[in-house]
Chain A
Amino acid sequence: MNQVTTPAPQVLLAEVTHRCPLQCPYCSNPTELIKKDVELSTADWARVFEESAELGVLQVSISGGEPAARRDLTELIGAAHEADLYVNLITSGIGITKDRLNDLVGAGCDHIQLSLQDVDPDGAKLISNLNKSLERKLEFAKWVTDISVPLTVNAVMHRLNLDRLPETIKLAQELGARRLEIANVQYHGWAALNKNLLMPTQEQSDRTNQIVKEARESLEGQLLIDYVPVDHYAEYPKPCMNGWGRVALIVAPDGSVLPCHNATTLTHLAFPNVINHSLENVWYESDAFNAYRGDTWMHDICRTCDRKEIDFGGCRCQALSILGDASAADPVCSRAHPHALVIDDDTQVLELVEPDLITYRPNA
């Protein structure tokens, strides 16, 4: 693939820090968390936002960790807004007071996505490992909708909270959310360490599909619902990141530029850093971004498949971690690997899950 056929990126995910007051055991951050002392400066981020906009990026999602762990979050949002990007803030709501929220919105935050661990306070405490996390989030959500900023509720679902999905949908409506993301845990990184506690049952997965279908119909035009089903019960892979290096790029807290959250697990690739590379150079020229573009890297079963323009072969990280081959078809694919993603026999269905069974991610 050459520069002529590579489309410009549309979305930047700015992971401004890996620090977080929550310790969710399915965190999408890599298991090797990046430390505060190597985080990019405010000026570095401002340059990243400007270069992104010039490259064709239209939307930035400022994420973490918890982005509010950075004291300069207002400046970061201001710089992204100044670069004429649409600014989404992806937050747990923890650490943002009402006054600070007003500052963030005043600086140009266009939309807020709030994570929700559980509608049940004890369930939320069990997952976040933080006291009163649900209560604080509900207060934050009210502040957001009080000033009419569009709110998305991002509900991460797994075996321990899936039975409360109807209540979760109801809560999103009550909070005045415009969007609800019902996102099943992706079993990479931290989540892979906790898979036997979090993996839903087949019955839960089937019921979820039905509940989502009905809610989408009955709430059409009121609440937009995005849904990520469970990989392990799916027939075909998801179009991971909408294809490697096709639509989105991620800048990690230390300035590494990645095609997906977990790309650092692909240790055979070297990911350039914004400190000494332009984003344009990384996007179009780097070996890492070109590695899985197009179809020349694919095995025959993918290259000749009629779904290759739909799912682009799926997730490279999952192919490597489960099959030991980063170029293999995503293990989800029932055509390529009918039996790759089996539910382990050691999956424990426990009446009561205690914190000492959970591998939490640390705060920093």
Chain B
Amino acid sequence: MNVELISSSAVPKFERGVRLKHDRVRERHVVLGPEMLIELNQTGTAIMSEIDGQSNLSEIVHRLAERFEVNPQDINQDVSEFCTTMVMRRVLHT
């Protein structure tokens, strides 16, 4: 990515008018926003489910690492890039 990644102390929050939704007809999770429909894969769903508006990026990475029994360092880059992309698309803000 060319853009600067959000810092580990930043607290990602959903933008107003954007939300995570379980699409029961297609059995998947999606992000809904203004003229926006983003289909999430399993990883995306796991990350977005941890966005609670209070935890910082580092805490989110640690919780995901615990949940999937991996080393936090191994997923830090991917989670940071995912959240940064979501900020650029105005799904999240910090």
- Please give the residue numbers on chain A whose beta carbons come within 8 Å of chain B beta carbons, in ascending order: 8, 10-11, 54-56, 58-59, 86, 88, 110-111, 113, 148-150, 152, 178-179, 220-221, 224, 226
Contact = CB atoms under 8 A, between A and B. Distances in A.
A221 B88 contact: yes
A73 to B, nearest CB: 18
B3 A221 contact: yes
Contact of B25 (A8, A86, A88, A148): A8
Nearest to B93: A221
Contact of B90 (A59, A110, A148, A221): A221
A149 B21 contact: no
Interface in B51-90: 87-90
Contacts of B25: 8, 54-56
A123 to B, nearest CB: 25
B90 A178 contact: yes
Nearest to B24: A56
B11 interface: no
Contacts of A148: 16
Contact of B26 (A56, A110, A150, A220): A56
Nearest to B23: A58
Interface in B18-60: 18-19, 21, 23, 25-26, 30, 32-35, 37
14 contacts: A10-B37, A11-B37, A56-B26, A58-B21, A58-B32, A58-B37, A86-B32, A86-B33, A88-B35, A148-B16, A149-B17, A179-B35, A220-B88, A221-B3
Q: Would you list the 7 A-B pairs with minimal beta carbon distance, nearest first?
A: A56-B25, A150-B17, A111-B34, A86-B32, A221-B88, A150-B34, A111-B17
Given A58-B30, A113-B35, A149-B17, 9 more contacts: A8-B25, A8-B26, A11-B37, A56-B26, A58-B21, A111-B33, A150-B15, A150-B34, A152-B34
B57 to A, nearest CB: 17
Interface of B: 3, 15-19, 21, 23, 25-26, 30, 32-35, 37, 87-90
A88 B21 CA distance: 16
Nearest to B17: A150
A5 to B, nearest CB: 15
A221 B21 CA distance: 23
A179 B30 contact: no
A54 B23 CA distance: 10
Contacts of A8: 25-26
A56 B3 CA distance: 36
Contact of B16 (A54, A56, A150, A226): A150
B87 A221 contact: yes
A88 B34 contact: yes
Contacts of A111: 17, 33-35
Contacts of B30: 58
A149 B16 contact: yes
Contacts of A149: 16-17
Nearest to B87: A221
Contact of A59 (B16, B26, B37): B37
Given A56-B25, A58-B23, A179 B3 contact: no
Contacts of A54: 25
Contacts of B26: 8, 56
A55 to B, nearest CB: 7
Contacts of A55: 25
A152 B35 contact: yes
Contacts of B33: 86, 111, 150
A113 B35 CA distance: 9
A1 B3 CA distance: 45
A113 B30 CA distance: 21
A212 B25 CA distance: 37
B26 to A, nearest CB: 7
A224 B90 contact: yes
A225 to B, nearest CB: 12
Contacts of B19: 86
A178 B18 CA distance: 12
A247 B49 CA distance: 26
Contacts of A178: 15, 17, 34, 90
